[in-house]
Amino acid sequence: MATREEARQKREEKLDELHEKLTGAVERLVTGEDWADALRFAARFRSRSFNNVLLIWEQHQAAFEQGRVPEPFPTYVAGYKQWQQLGRQVEKGQPGYQILAPVTGRFASANPSDPASWYGLNRGEKPKPGEVVRSRMVGVRPAYVWDVSQTAGEPIPEPPSPVLLAGDAPDGLWDGLAQQVRAAGYELMRVPHEGMIHGANGLTDFEAKTVAVRENMDPAAQVKTLAHELAHVLMHDPDQEDARQHRGIGEVEAESVALMIGAAHGMDTTGYTIPYVAGWAANVDGKEPVEVVKATGERVRKTAAGILDQLDTAQVPDGTPPGLDRDAPRPARSKDRTAATVAEPEHSRAPEPARARGL
């Protein structure tokens, strides 16, 4: 008969194995075609100068206030002809945003180290043999750009996005998680819709000590969100010493814990978890998404084991959700999203606005 210690060890192995599979699934997603298409599209938009970003934001906000664009933040921004090259057309009656486009000139020199030797080339003029040519900005001219929401046409390639879970919640799981939220000193609230929590599915407020989950989703999605928020409560209180960290890492951790809690109850969260974790992991500067996920393994396992320990629900011995198997189909893509957001905010500290980018 297995002792308690053996049982614990077995579960830890199971959780480690789950985490490895999650890491593998994230890797497959971020190396897949949809992901690559989205990156290639984004790469066609280069960063603009700080001044132009401000100009775009200001004019986009004004357009939003006048009801001409649906979202307050600009995402992909490009010139009229550039949108046409991407298979999209600026819609009638949409005025562009005026920015200052750099004007460059070409200069040539036979002796580059001598500043006095450089002279300007006219349009089409060729340098003399042996001369070096360089381009330099010589001024600015007004130009017009449009946000993607002012255009119509070919769909924007996007990374796969999280799909809300459907169906029932495992028996007793909501109550068990709710108890742990309250035991940590937080009040648990159910709100009618996402409009009350900044468009998120759930919200942990470390100052007010409240956790909110929206009720207008299926019970399975609600209970997964509660597990995600409980992980934030246990791991990310800014007053705890080891809790302050990059937002993206915090989201990867909380959602990975939710996957483990779900898996232990035979609930497959992968359609939501994998794109969500991949999206946030890809947003940690200077690190590969897979490395980000890998590095959280130990903390995630400990937190998940701690939560599972305190639940008196019926847990399945082999909790690998089918979506984590290598041959399983990839999560479905939702069709109604605009580009450049990473993932739905599962909870909300306010999501970072997408940066204005332009061709």
Residues that bind Zn ion (CB under 5 A): 251, 254, 346-347
**In the numeric block, which tokens belong to residue 7?**
């049982």
- Smallest gap from Cβ 189 to Zn ion, in A, equals 16
Nearer to Zn ion, 251 or 344 (CB): 251
- Smallest gap from Cβ 230 to Zn ion, in A, equals 11
356 and 148 in contact (C-beta within 8 Å)?
Answer: no
- Smallest gap from Cβ 346 to Zn ion, in A, equals 4
Helices 4-30, 297-309: inter-axial angle, 10-degree rounding: 130
- Smallest gap from Cβ 182 to Zn ion, in A, equals 19
- Smallest gap from Cβ 350 to Zn ion, in A, equals 12
- Smallest gap from Cβ 204 to Zn ion, in A, equals 7
Nearer to Zn ion, 45 or 276 (CB): 276
Nearer to Zn ion, 108 or 257 (CB): 257
Distance CA 105, CA 120 (A): 7
Residue 244: count other Cβ atoms within 10 Å of its Cβ.
Answer: 11
**In the numeric block, which tokens belong to residue 104?**
């460059």
Cβ-count burial 127-166 (b if 16+ within 10 Å, e if not): eeeebeeeeeeeeeeebebbbbbbbeeeebbbbbbbbbbe
**In the numeric block, which tokens belong to residue 152?**
């119509």
Nearer to Zn ion, 149 or 204 (CB): 204
Nearer to Zn ion, 88 or 347 (CB): 347
- Smallest gap from Cβ 276 to Zn ion, in A, equals 9
Nearer to Zn ion, 19 or 347 (CB): 347
Start-to-end CA distance of the chain, whole Å, equals 66
**Counting Cβ atoms within 10 Å, is residue 25 exposed (0-12), middle (13-18) or buried (19+)?**
buried
Distance CA 256, CA 238 (A): 20
Q: Specify the residue for token string 């290598």.
A: 326
Of residues 186, 272, 185, 192, the one with CA closest to residue 225:
272
The angle at the Cα of 252, spanning 310 to 208, to the nearest 5 degrees, equals 65
Nearer to Zn ion, 63 or 230 (CB): 230
Distance CA 18, CA 24 (A): 10
- Smallest gap from Cβ 293 to Zn ion, in A, equals 15
Nearer to Zn ion, 158 or 344 (CB): 344
